[in-house]
């Protein structure tokens, strides 16, 4: 009986033990480790830098759970990018996180300079910590090869940024934004202008400068890379000017296809400089706003340089304006080096239309191809009344050709933005959100109602982009439509009510020389406040 009792006790303990084991097993999360596969990740993604988006829509499959979606909280997703060569990249890190949100699918702007990168996609099972990954190449091409370079000011601090309407092909023309930020442009305030000079001396070596209120920086002609060492004072001056910055850069066209006769520039301090290329001038030297070479400047010049814009340079002169003595000053190419390093007051001819010593403030000056090289100047007297002088710069230049007074032009005295046409005697000017066409020949003004801007929009730029290639043969492979675009009015405007810093628009308007009107051909948006536009030409 004791033996039997003992057997019952042993049996009872065994049952309890087994039950405890079963209960204990239920308290643990025993599961088979899933095998994860990644599909639908391309081997290569080709994008245009700062324009296209890097898009990946992978298919992630678990051997236990099937396809894994974004909402599955058991998994984490990540994307990273690094240069294919393995070096540091734009943000000075080995890897840059492409997807801070951690979503399964990737859709992000390709904000990287032209290069080949490696992309890395990873899936992590948070329960086991096991990670599965896939890699792919990202080839970023440059949006800077050809198109409209758009110099802007961004935000209340007027940060300089350069956007671009990139011409990839005749069929693909797309905007790209803030191109120079990752390419080394020093943080600068106050956009002044873009200088473009297609140079053919020795080898194709086009010059591109971005001019700001805190420095003018040369851009690499292919990549647009730049840095502080490329400031014009270090690369184009014998002695860098102290405390002044180049805000205007112009060339005097040559009869040769190779390049210009000379390069001229003006600083914000009102000093002018000349680099005479035909004489082997390698750099700018001393200010030329003086009566004697090497002497200290004697007066300040306005930030304009008037030249003939006729092709194959039919003029060897340049026009400046002395702000202190209110007179036109001339620069002339010649055979005496000293004379090309000074400015000279322009003498009044017999039976003159006006005096070159105007006694007025210069409001604006623009070079055109009209009449084979006419420079227009808008001047204002002490009473606030404005007039326009036309000075022909062909041959030896400084020929008084036109004088326009008592203009029938509403709000012309308030305008600060102008553009003169090179085929018709038209002046365009803007006040607020209104653009006007003034026919200089008939003294009649026409509101450009086809340029319809909202009440919160204001015009920030009017311009005609005359191509700068040295000769027509440089562009002889271009269509008639392409060549005609240099005579389209470009209208830059900004929406002051924009919720971000991207309220800028750029419209292109062919000009009707018979009916005194314009029509819109195209418009692009998403820019900052547009200050200058120059077409980046290619042969």
Helices in 202-266 by DSSP H: which ranges? 232-235
Q: Which of the four pLDDT bands, split at 50, 70 and 90, describes residue 164?
A: very high
409-431 CB burial, b ≥16 within 10 A, e <16: beebeebebbbbbbebbbbbbbb
Give pLDDT tens digits for 196-243: 987 766 555 788 999 999 999 999 988 899 999 999 999 999 989 999
Average pLDDT of the residues of the chain: 89
Lowest mean pLDDT among 251-255, 305-309, 353-357: 251-255
Angle at 135 between CA 131 and CA 137, to 5 degrees: 160
User: What would the mean pLDDT of 150-162 be, rounded to a whole number?
Assistant: 97
- What pLDDT shows up at residue 201? 63
Which strands form 522-527's sheet, in the order they lie side by side?
457-463, 489-495, 504-509, 522-527
User: What would the mean pLDDT of 8-21 be, rounded to a whole number?
Assistant: 47
- DSSP code per residue over 454-470: -TTEEEEEEE------S
State the residue for tokens 């314009």.
Answer: 518
Give pLDDT tens digits for 39-92: 999 999 988 888 889 999 999 999 888 999 888 999 999 999 998 864 434 444
Instruction: Name every residue whose Cβ is closer than 8 Å to that of residue 133 and which is 6 or more positions away in sequence.
Output: 38, 120, 121, 122, 123
Phi, psi (deg, nearest 5) at residue 458: -140, 145
Whole-angstrom Cα distance, residue 55 to residue 119?
11
Q: Best-predicted range by mean pLDDT among 10-24, 85-99, 258-272?
A: 258-272
State the residue for tokens 């419209």.
Answer: 507
- What pLDDT shows up at residue 472? 44
Angle at 186 between CA 185 and CA 191, to 5 degrees: 80
> Whose CA is closest to 317, among 20, 495, 309?
309
User: What would the mean pLDDT of 31-39 be, rounded to a whole number?
Assistant: 84
> Whose CA is closest to 432, among 404, 451, 446?
451
DSSP bridge partners of 437: 428, 446
Three-class SS state of 92: coil
- What pLDDT shows up at residue 15? 45
Extract the tokens encoding 442. 């008939």
Instruction: Name every residue whose Cβ is closer than 8 Å to that of residue 129 and which is 6 or more positions away in sequence.
Output: none
pLDDT, greater one: 21 or 145:
145
Whole-angstrom Cα distance, residue 115 to residue 187?
23
Lowest mean pLDDT among 12-16, 403-407, 417-421: 12-16
| Contact in structure between 503 and 138 (CB atoms under 8 Å) | no
Instruction: Name every residue whose Cβ is closer than 8 Å to that of residue 99 and which is 6 or more positions away in sequence.
Output: 77, 78, 79, 106, 108
SS (H, E, C) 378-440: EEECCCCCEEEEEEECCECCCEEEEEECCCCCCCHHHCCEEEECCCCCEEEEEECCEEEEEEC
Whole-angstrom Cα distance, residue 522 to residue 536?
18
What's the chain's length in residues?
539
In 349-398, DSSP assigns E strands to: 361-367, 374-380, 386-392
User: What would the mean pLDDT of 252-273 be, rounded to a whole number?
Assistant: 86
Extract the tokens encoding 461. 């730029």
Cβ count within 10 A of residue 323:
15
| Residue 49 C-alpha from the chain's centroid | 14
- What pLDDT shows up at residue 329? 98
User: What would the mean pLDDT of 94-122 be, rounded to a whole number?
Assistant: 90
Extract the tokens encoding 271. 């000093």
Give pLDDT tens digits for 427-472: 999 999 999 999 999 999 999 999 999 999 999 999 999 987 644 4
Whole-angstrom Cα distance, residue 127 to residue 488?
63
- Looking at the chain, the whole-number percentage of residues with pLDDT higher than 70 is 88
* Helix (H) or strand (E) run with residue 350 in it: none
In order of 327, 342, 517, the CA distances from 301 in angstroms are 10, 13, 35
Q: Is the pLDDT of residue 3 over 80?
A: no
Question: Which sign, positive or negative, has the C-alpha torsion 319, 321, 327, 330?
Answer: negative
- What pLDDT shows up at residue 206? 82
- What pLDDT shows up at residue 115? 83
């Amino acid at each position: 009986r004791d033996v039997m009792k003992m057997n019952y006790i042993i049996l009872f303990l065994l049952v309890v033990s087994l039950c405890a084991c079963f209960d204990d097993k239920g308290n643990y999360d025993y599961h088979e480790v899933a095998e994860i596969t990644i599909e639908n990740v391309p081997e290569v993604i080709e994008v245009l830098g700062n324009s296209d988006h890097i898009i990946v829509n992978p298919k992630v499959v678990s051997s236990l759970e099937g396809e894994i979606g974004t909402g599955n909280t058991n998994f984490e997703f990540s994307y990273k990018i690094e240069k294919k060569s393995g070096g540091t990249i734009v943000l000075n890190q080995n890897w840059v996180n492409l997807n801070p949100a951690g979503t399964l699918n990737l859709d992000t702007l390709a904000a990287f300079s032209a290069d080949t990168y490696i992309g890395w996609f990873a899936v992590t099972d948070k329960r086991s910590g096991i990670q599965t990954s896939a890699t792919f190449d990202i080839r970023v091409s440059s949006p800077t090869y050809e198109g409209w370079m758009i110099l802007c000011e961004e935000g209340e601090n007027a940060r300089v940024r350069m956007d671009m309407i990139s011409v990839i092909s005749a069929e693909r023309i797309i905007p790209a934004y803030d191109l120079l930020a990752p390419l080394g442009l020093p943080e600068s305030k106050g956009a002044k202008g873009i200088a473009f000079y297609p140079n053919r001396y020795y080898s194709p070596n086009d010059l591109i400068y971005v001019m700001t209120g805190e420095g003018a920086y040369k851009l690499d002609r292919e990549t647009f890379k730049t840095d502080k060492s490329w400031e014009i004072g270090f690369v184009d001056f014998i002695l860098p000017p102290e405390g002044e910055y180049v805000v205007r850069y112009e060339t005097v066209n040559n009869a040769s296809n190779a390049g210009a006769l000379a390069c001229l520039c003006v600083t914000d301090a009102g000093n002018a400089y000349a680099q005479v290329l035909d004489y082997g001038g390698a750099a700018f030297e001393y200010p030329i706003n003086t009566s004697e070479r090497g002497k200290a400047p004697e007066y300040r010049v306005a930030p304009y340089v008037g030249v003939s814009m006729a092709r194959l340079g039919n003029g060897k002169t340049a026009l400046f304006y002395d702000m202190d003595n209110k007179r036109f000053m001339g620069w002339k190419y010649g055979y005496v080096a000293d004379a090309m390093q000074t400015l000279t007051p322009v003498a009044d001819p017999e039976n003159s239309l006006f005096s070159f010593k105007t006694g007025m403030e210069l409001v604006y000056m623009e070079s055109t191809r009209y009449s084979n090289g006419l420079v227009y100047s808008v001047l204002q007297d002490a009473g606030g009344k404005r007039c326009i002088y036309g000075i022909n710069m062909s041959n030896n230049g400084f020929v008084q050709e036109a004088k326009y007074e008592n203009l029938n032009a509403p709000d012309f005295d308030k305008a600060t933005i102008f553009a003169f046409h090179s085929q018709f005697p038209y002046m365009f000017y803007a006040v607020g959100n209104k653009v006007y066409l003034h026919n200089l020949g008939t003294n009649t003004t026409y509101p450009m109602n086809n340029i319809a801007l909202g009440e919160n929009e204001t015009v920030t730029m009017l311009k005609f982009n005359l191509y700068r290639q040295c000769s027509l043969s440089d562009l002889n492979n271009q269509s008639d439509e392409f060549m005609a675009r240099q005579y389209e009015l470009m209208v830059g405007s900004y929406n002051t009510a924009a919720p971000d810093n991207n309220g800028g628009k750029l419209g292109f308007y062919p000009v009707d020389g018979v009916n005194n009107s314009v029509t819109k051909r195209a418009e692009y948006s998403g820019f900052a406040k547009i200050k200058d536009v120059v077409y980046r030409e290619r042969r």
